[in-house]
Structure 1
């Protein structure tokens, strides 16, 4: 048995997340089908972090194992495997690299940290070029309130209030190392005039829908619907109903 790591990016708008589902198209399903077709043996992938329906990913990492009888064949294909995969994958999925790794490598457990970015366009007018990559908020957002709210969320906490209610995680304690908010400017036709905000979350791991649930509450603070102190209370309550609605998938 030999293990391989695969790095890929995808635009998730047309897919129902990473994980294989019985009646819906997923990223994992397509990757496994195309890999199996080329190396002519069934492949099962394990991903660093499963994404929700409509969520995008840049240089996502997964791994897969190949039985000993097929290893030599895969090694011979390795140089051309990325090219061959990309030639038959949909245009919204791209493979960056495939390489052999040690047997102890695990795409999820070997990750030292994970980083998520969520984009929000705070502008009276929507931007048609960013509609699939940013959450459009027509009102002005208060940066100071949002940064103060983020301050309460950093560190080691029980994030039950920001976890999907159907999560099967054994513990909902997670560590967020850093949350930043930056203004981004793009040239025409993507011109945003500094109203495009990038929220970056860095942590050791995240729960199901955690980032989107955090974003829904942070934006509520930015809109002055709640105070930053109420964000802290929602966190401490360990009750999903005390936090705000889930942010749309397209911004993540």
Structure 2
């Protein structure tokens, strides 16, 4: 019987064509599969909790794989795997889960942050969006609060995307000033392709006074991508948490107690 394992990892997405394997560029999934296959000495296929776009980062991503044998996952094993991986991908944990647990379909929430700075930084410029204009954060939060009232976000989805519906349950949406950064926090059960970056780009229009909060709400209601603003750059976007029901990790907790 196959054993299923979860992987918790993080990555800087700058050099990658997103999470999912693509025919025209290097993906995080591809690199991780190659190194896992090498260290485990058999072909390994992994399934992620969801896709991140080209250039988008992840502080916490989950994926799973299956193998015919039980593995002894030690700190030394994780260290060896991380030595094989490039510096911009890091594995934190690998642990067993029940066969029914699925990295993508068992997830109940995803939490993203979009980070903006006004000043250039030689250390952070690939990890934030440097945006100079003054912004009215209070007005941007008025717009963000409207997202909690709606569940159809077709206006903020890329046009050519294969989804059966555009509904998302948003649980948190707010802009917070944190030290030298302005950070947009958004948490939902699911996200559409390109949704967060388009929301950010449109709310930046609100913050600059180029769009009213009423007009922002009209864009939500329109269900038309051409009505929304431009997509903000990938550099500022982070997947920071993937949520699962507590029972998802029951097997891991039992093993930890032994």
Deviations for 1:184-218, whole angstroms, at most 9, x for unmatched residues?
A: 11xxxxxx3xxx11111011110111101110111
The total of aligned residue pairs comes to: 236
Matched, 1:230 2:215: yes
Matched, 1:25 2:26: yes
2:72 aligned residue (55, 72, 76): 76
SS at match of 1:90: coil
Distance of 1:145 and 1:165 partners within structure 2: 28
Distance of 2:218 and 2:33 partners within structure 1: 43
- Give the CA deviation at 1:237: 0.4
CA contact (8 A) 1:10 1:56 kept: yes
Give the root-mean-square deviation of aligned CA atoms: 1.2
Indicate the residue corresponding to 1:189 in structure 2. Answer: none
1:219 aligned residue (197, 204, 207): 204
Indicate the residue corresponding to 1:164 in structure 2. Answer: 158
- Give the CA deviation at 1:65: 1.1
Distance of 1:229 and 1:156 partners within structure 2: 14
Query: 1:16-165 alignment to 2 at 5 Å?
Result: 16-66=17-67, 68=68, 71-72=69-70, 75-76=71-72, 78-121=74-117, 123=118, 125-165=119-159
Deviations for 1:129-154, whole angstroms, at most 9, x for unmatched residues?
A: 22111111111100111011101112
Indicate the residue corresponding to 1:245 in structure 2. Answer: 230
Larger relative contact order, structure 1 or 2 (CA cutoff 8 Å, min sep 6): 2
CA contact (8 A) 1:155 1:175 kept: no
Structure 1 gaps of 5+ residues are 186-191
Matched, 1:210 2:161: no
Distance of 1:110 and 1:129 partners within structure 2: 36
Structure 2 gaps of 5+ residues are 238-258
- Give the CA deviation at 1:79: 4.9
CA contact (8 A) 1:179 1:201 kept: yes
Distance of 2:38 and 2:19 partners within structure 1: 19
Deviations for 1:42-97, whole angstroms, at most 9, x for unmatched residues?
A: 1111111210010000121011111x2xx14xx13555331111011000110000
Indicate the residue corresponding to 1:173 in structure 2. Answer: 167
* TM-score when normalising by structure 2: 0.88
SS at match of 2:126: coil
SS at match of 1:129: coil
Deviations for 1:117-138, whole angstroms, at most 9, x for unmatched residues?
A: 00011x3x42332211111111
SS at match of 1:64: strand
